[in-house]
């Protein structure tokens, strides 16, 4: 079993930017493409993924420093540090449950496609870490009390959660095609799509409230009214300067000159992100589209009338202007909620840059209505913080188990990403209730 685990670890340790091109190249060959064509598509996707991660890192570095200063300067009593999704994924792929959950999910996907329960063929195996994390959490917390039942719960929740997300991905695929231009592509990305379970009903309720139902803000409309200030690049610069200014000028000893200097640096970094993310996503899509077209042609030839979607990382939707704008607006929202929610212990830091993934759920139901998107984001950020707080104790325990260091000054560590996959914590809480 250790050999199998080591093989999985070896492959996963290369990261999605290497693993996904390998998968796409193999998939292209299976679909009948020439080796050069399949390799080119896979590598183009990988290069785009590296570029996207580099851009998000720029945003993360800027926002994390700003957020840390704001919290420190304003004396917020938050002791669970958000160390980001990368730490969570590293933990998830380092436990003994990996091969069992990995194989179980693949088999589940195949069975659901064969039975017609889903149209999503998920190739985004990197993000299996979402359910791997909660599987590991169940075994850590409940394994001593009842090892057999803990393993059953761990693997069972992974299968159940991914099965649900395949169905959700099918459910919102038409909206993904309309809003994001993702024809033939679905997004079985738990941290993005499970939140649609909340935002779609909320959007329906807003649509029934007199006055509110008629308010329609779009990024295009705002851009038209604001002129130059409404352009994504300029908007990013202004928002970055404002957030940075709040951080700099609440810091003791900051001079006007140094404060303005840092404001301009941070503003330019956020402006760059607003420009570069859509271009990196375009590169992703350049590599993806040949694979998508090959898949559709393959299926039409061998399974006439059977429609399938390629299931991908929600990164392919992060370039939409509305998504980026809403993600920036979500930063002050989540900080305000982190302060006022009495049960919250989480200090949002590293995963602020990942909000571009999580706010997609607030884009799809209203097709780009910024007003409704803000309301839905307020609700979802409260949910993210609540479940990130729940996850803090277990992530700290798993970090100790896998050898991940806890930052100085932190009582616990957590990740907003884990809160965004709130649905996976429901089986975890049920397992605790039954076994402890």
User: In whole angstroms, what is the distance from residue 169 CA to residue 175 CA?
Assistant: 10
Listed residue (420, 331, 349) closest to 383, CA to CA: 420
User: In whole angstroms, what is the distance from residue 353 CA to residue 59 CA?
Assistant: 6
Q: What is the mean pLDDT of the chain?
A: 81
Q: What pairs with residue 122 in β-bridges?
A: 311
**182 vs 16, residue with greater confidence:** 182
Please give the full DSSP string across 332-355, using - where no structure is assigned: HHHHHHHHH-TT--EE--GGGGGH
**184 vs 45, residue with greater confidence:** 184
The parent domain of residue 292 ranges over 2-435
Helix and strand numbers (H, E) in the chain are 17, 6
Q: Determine contact, residues 173/179, Cβ cutoff 8 Å.
A: no
112-143 pLDDT tens trace: 988 889 999 888 777 888 999 999 899 988 88
User: In whole angstroms, what is the distance from residue 308 CA to residue 292 CA?
Assistant: 10
User: In whole angstroms, what is the distance from residue 193 CA to residue 361 CA?
Assistant: 6
Q: Determine contact, residues 135/201, Cβ cutoff 8 Å.
A: no
This prediction has a pTM of 0.78
Q: Which long-range contacts (CB under 8 A, 24 or more apart) does 12-15 make?
A: 12/93, 12/98, 12/126, 13/93, 15/126
Q: What total of structural domains would you count in the chain? A: 1
**pLDDT number for residue 380:** 95
412-430 pLDDT tens trace: 888 899 999 999 999 999 9
**pLDDT number for residue 426:** 94
Please give the full DSSP string across 370-407, using - where no structure is assigned: HHHHHHHHHHHHHHHHHHHHHHHHHHHHHHHHHTPPPP
Residue 75, by phi and psi: left (phi above 0), alpha (psi -120 to 50) or beta? Answer: left
326-384 pLDDT tens trace: 887 888 898 889 889 999 999 887 787 788 889 999 989 988 788 899 999 999 999 99
Strand intervals (E) in 267-354: 309-311, 346-347
Both tokens of 141, joined, read 């917390």
**pLDDT number for residue 146:** 87
Q: Determine contact, residues 234/57, Cβ cutoff 8 Å.
A: no
**pLDDT number for residue 138:** 92
159-177 pLDDT tens trace: 999 999 999 999 999 999 9
CB atoms within 10 A of CB 296: 17
Band of pLDDT at residue 410, cut at 50, 70 and 90: low
**pLDDT number for residue 195:** 94
């Amino acid at each position: 079993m250790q050999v199998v685990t080591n093989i999985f670890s070896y492959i996963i340790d290369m990261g999605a930017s290497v693993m996904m091109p390998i998968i796409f190249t193999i998939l292209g060959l299976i679909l009948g493409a020439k080796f050069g064509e399949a390799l080119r598509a896979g590598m183009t996707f990988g290069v785009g993924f590296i570029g996207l991660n580099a851009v998000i890192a720029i945003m993360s570095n800027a926002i994390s420093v700003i957020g840390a200063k704001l919290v420190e300067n304003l004396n917020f009593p938050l002791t669970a540090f958000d160390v980001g999704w990368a730490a969570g994924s590293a933990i998830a792929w380092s436990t003994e449950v990996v091969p069992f959950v990995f194989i179980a999910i693949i088999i589940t996907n195949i069975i659901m496609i064969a039975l017609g329960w889903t149209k999503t063929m998920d190739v985004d195996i990197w993000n299996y870490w979402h359910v791997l994390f909660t599987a590991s959490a169940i075994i850590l917390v409940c394994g001593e009390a009842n090892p057999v039942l803990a393993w059953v719960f761990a693997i069972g929740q992974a299968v159940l959660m991914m099965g649900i997300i395949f169905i959700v991905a099918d459910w919102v695929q038409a909206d993904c095609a309309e809003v994001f231009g993702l024809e033939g592509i679905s997004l079985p990305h738990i941290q993005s799509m499970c939140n649609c379970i909340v935002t779609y009903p909320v959007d329906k309720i807003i649509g029934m409230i007199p006055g509110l139902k008629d308010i329609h803000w779009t990024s295009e409309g705002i851009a038209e009214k604001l002129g130059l200030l409404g352009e994504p690049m300029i908007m990013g610069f202004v928002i970055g300067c404002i957030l940075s200014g709040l951080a700099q000028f609440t810091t003791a000893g900051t001079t006007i000159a140094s404060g303005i200097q840092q404001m301009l640096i941070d503003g330019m970094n956020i402006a760059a992100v607003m420009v570069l993310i859509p271009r990196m996503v375009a590169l992703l899509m350049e590599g993806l589209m040949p694979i998508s077209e090959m898949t559709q042609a393959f299926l039409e030839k061998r399974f006439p009338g059977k429609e399938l979607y390629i299931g991908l990382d929600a990164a392919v939707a992060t370039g939409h202007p509305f998504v980026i704008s809403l993600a920036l607006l979500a930063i002050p929202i989540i900080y305000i909620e982190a302060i006022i929610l009495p049960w919250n212990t989480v200090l949002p830091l590293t995963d602020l840059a990942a909000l571009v993934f999580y706010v997609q759920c607030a884009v799809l139901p209203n097709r780009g209505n910024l007003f409704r998107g803000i309301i839905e984001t307020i609700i979802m950020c409260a949910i993210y913080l609540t479940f990130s707080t729940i996850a803090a104790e277990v992530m700290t325990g798993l970090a100790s188990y896998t050898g991940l260091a806890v930052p100085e000054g932190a009582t616990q560590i957590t990740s907003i990403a884990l809160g965004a996959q709130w649905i996976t914590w429901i089986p975890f809480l049920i397992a605790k209730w039954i076994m402890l």
